[in-house]
Amino acid sequence: MGLVYPLPSPKMAKSAKEINLENCLGKTVLVIGGGGREHAIVDALSRSPQVSKIYCAPGNAGIGLQAFNVPLKDTDVEGLLAFAQENEVDLTVVGPEASLAAGIVDTFRAAGLPIFGHTQAATAIESSKEFAKKLMEKYGIPTAAYRSFSDYEEALSYVSGRPFPAVLKYDGLAAGKGVVIAQNLDEARKALADMLLDHSFGEGRVVVEDFLIGPEFSFLCFVDGERVYPMPLSQDHKRAFDGDKGPNTGGMGAYTGLPFITGEDKEFAYKEILCKAAKAMVAEGLPLSGVLYGGLMKTPQGIKVIEFNARFGDPETEVVLPLLESDIFDIFDGVAKGLPVKQPVWADGVTLGVVLASKGYPGSYEKGYDIEGLETVDAQVYHMGTSIRDGHVFTNGGRVLMVVSGGKDLADARKKVYQEIEKISCENLFYRKDIAHWAFE
């Protein structure tokens, strides 16, 4: 049977008395969410010398080794507010978009509590595709040409006159299933009927946009109004199997240090996309105050926006935050309070992370398999879906663990990660063997 890894951090190993004593001096932070992304946020916060106590709601079994899990749902805004008030939380950091869309930031601010994350209205940059496309059009931010429709016949007639493949996006939250790349008119007809006649996802409109070609990458920035602090670029792997085959997932791995994006590309994306979007949101009266995530594509016509997200990406966060050398508490706190922060400092080198998922994921899968060998792994292990009973770790979700290693270059990081994964044994886990393959082709 495997032992628990990572071992409880020194902070958790301290007695309650010591923690209370520290509490008088240090900051108490509440992190909202319970996946690998939040584990990486908690881990970064635990490196801050200013932070003495971390709560995470709902957290997960691995997070519970570094923070105190709080059994509240990430959308239970009133419950979370009462918890933060009763437990003298100095700062709250929001992971999931669902919490932002539920208005957690508006509620905490109205109660005078500092919180890192966007208001419900500003979260529209992610939750409404049409809002994001209109914003980009109005402010000259490069993206695919589009039209939006609520009427099935009109949408179909527009698509018929456009080249294929065509991209159809439901305008609203659709649990990652709202985007269809239609290869021909028949597929487009089916998808439009599903979205606009059967209302499978709800009453929302549909955005129809041109199909772009090129490598995709993620550009996450901390944003406070017009102040935009860039993070290292990263790339997610959405398909379940090697060679980018199989169904779409929540992400099977990620890495930093993208060789196909030049310094000039990053500068362009920073100025012409991320900074412009932040300015545009201020001009619209919806200033951002959290993470803006540009889902970008390097097309032959230049870098364009595929989508914006209003939060940290998962699994990107797990490879980006380990590179942060600055104190993350200062960044979260400054952005939450609308105060300038020092430009974050990032380590040289790169990171690469591989997700271990339950066999069958993203379809149906079984839970409760014993995971052994974690205590011998010499790499960062973020928990995504585990449970711990009597000191043993078990699978408890679709994506279960993410193993992340740094390296001087990608070949080095990749070798280390796969070497360390070999030490983990579990009969019901699978993982991709080709993370960062684009960098090696």
Q: Which residues sit at the interface with ligand AMP, rule CB under 6 A?
A: 144, 167, 169, 179, 209, 211-212, 216, 295, 306-307
Q: Identify the three-state secondary structure at position 115.
A: strand
Whose Cβ is closer to ligand GLY: residue 251's or residue 362's?
251
Q: How far is the CB of 313 from ligand GLY (least distance, A)?
A: 3
Spacing of C-alpha 331 from chain mean position: 17
Q: Which residue is nearest to ligand GLY (CB)?
A: 313
CA distances from 265 to 260, 304, 346 (A): 9, 11, 19
Whose Cβ is closer to ligand AMP: residue 217's or residue 394's?
217
Q: Where are the beta strands (DSSP E) in 26-145?
A: 27-33, 51-58, 68-69, 91-94, 115-116
Whose Cβ is closer to ligand AMP: residue 307's or residue 316's?
307
Query: Token match 């709560």: residue?
Result: 55
Whose Cβ is closer to ligand GLY: residue 251's or residue 397's?
251
Q: Which does 216 bind (CB under 5 to 8 A by kind): ligand GLY, ligand AMP, none?
A: ligand AMP
Q: How far is the CB of 314 from ligand GLY (least distance, A)?
A: 5
The Cα–Cα gap between 38 and 292 comes to 16
Q: Which does 236 bind (CB under 5 to 8 A by kind): ligand GLY, ligand AMP, none?
A: ligand GLY
Q: Which does 76 bind (CB under 5 to 8 A by kind): ligand GLY, ligand AMP, none?
A: none
Ramachandran category for residue 70: left, alpha or beta (phi over 0 → left; psi -120 to 50 → alpha): beta
CA distances from 360 to 252, 363, 385 (A): 13, 5, 14
Q: Which does 22 bind (CB under 5 to 8 A by kind): ligand AMP, ligand GLY, none?
A: none
Whose Cβ is closer to ligand GLY: residue 114's or residue 253's?
253
Whose Cβ is closer to ligand AMP: residue 74's or residue 209's?
209
Spacing of C-alpha 130 from chain mean position: 21
One-character DSSP codes across 394-426: EE-SSEEEEEEEEESSHHHHHHHHHHHHTT-B-
Q: How far is the CB of 313 from ligand AMP (least distance, A)?
A: 11
Q: Which residue is nearest to ligand AMP (CB)?
A: 307
Whose Cβ is closer to ligand GLY: residue 81's or residue 221's?
221
Q: Which does 306 bind (CB under 5 to 8 A by kind): ligand AMP, ligand GLY, none?
A: ligand AMP
Q: Output b/e per residue, 272-294; b: 16+ Cβ within 10 A.
A: ebbbbbbebbeebebbbbbbbbb
Helix (H) or strand (E) holding 130: helix 129-139
Q: Which residues bind ligand GLY (CB under 6 A)?
A: 236, 251, 309, 313-314, 316
Q: How far is the CB of 355 from ligand AMP (least distance, A)?
A: 17
Q: Identify the three-state secondary structure at position 359.
A: coil
